[in-house]
Amino acid sequence: MEMTKWNIEQKNSEASFKVRKLFITNVIGQMEVFEGQVETETDDFESVNKISFKASVNSIKTDDAKRDEHLKSSDFFNMEKYPYIRFVAEDFNANEKKIQADLTIKDITKSITLAIDSGKTSIGKNSGDRVELSFSGKIDRRDFGLTWDGKNAAGDLIVGDEIKLSAKIQFVKQSQNATAKEIK
């Protein structure tokens, strides 16, 4: 059976994270450069065979350039050694409201579950076939080797352990003549 391929349209998509800072406020960050592809068994996007997503660690942006550089350093994501964060899920139904996937950060892969918060489909001649899905979930940063434990002058930990993930991703059906982008 031939699979239908869908590519992420980055300009209409977003991937973000939120983590507690000093147990008082949240730091919100964006992954600004990412790509991905989905393979479905049908054109209706219900039966997904595989979804592959990778985000560039170099594209992490918060509201503080100094913090962004620290996040890219060996204290956190170690961008020089591990330039990408990867997400792969196989065999799920977008109508089931959850997705089980493998998340890889710093060469550590763990199974995570994300909620599918919403989904909508648009089929049109001008814009092509599109599907938009919103995901959310949380991970423990320590499970992925993000163990930096900086403290402020009072001795309080600066970064919380729980990271909330969210994404709104738009997929565009690949035309029959297009060449698929391979996620490596």
Provide the residue-wise pLDDT of the chain in tens; the chain has 184 residues.
678 899 999 999 999 999 998 778 899 999 999 999 999 887 777 788 999 999 999 999 999 999 999 999 999 999 999 999 999 999 887 778 889 999 999 999 999 999 988 777 665 555 568 888 899 999 999 999 999 988 877 777 789 999 999 999 999 998 765 554 544 5
Predicted TM-score of the model (pTM): 0.87
The domain spanning residue 46 has which CATH number?
2.40.128.110
Work out the burial of residue 176: count CB atoms within 10 Å of its CB; fewer than 13 is exposed, 13-18 middle, 19 or more buried: exposed
Please name the residues in contact with 181: beta carbons below 8 A apart, sequence gap of 6 or more.
7, 35, 37
Judge whether 180 lies within some domain.
no
The pLDDT value recorded for residue 106 is 96
Q: Where are the alpha helices (DSSP H) in 24-142?
A: 65-72
The pLDDT value recorded for residue 86 is 98
Tally the domains of the chain: 1
Parent domain of 33 = 4-173
Judge whether 108 lies within some domain.
yes
Q: Which residues sit opposite 25 in a β-bridge?
A: 21
Judge whether 179 lies within some domain.
no
User: CA angle, corner 60, sides to 104 and 15, nearest 5?
Assistant: 70
Distance CA 163, CA 132 (A): 23
Judge whether 52 lies within some domain.
yes
Residue pair 159/21 in contact by the 8 Å Cβ criterion: yes
Judge whether 183 lies within some domain.
no
The pLDDT value recorded for residue 72 is 97
The pLDDT value recorded for residue 94 is 72
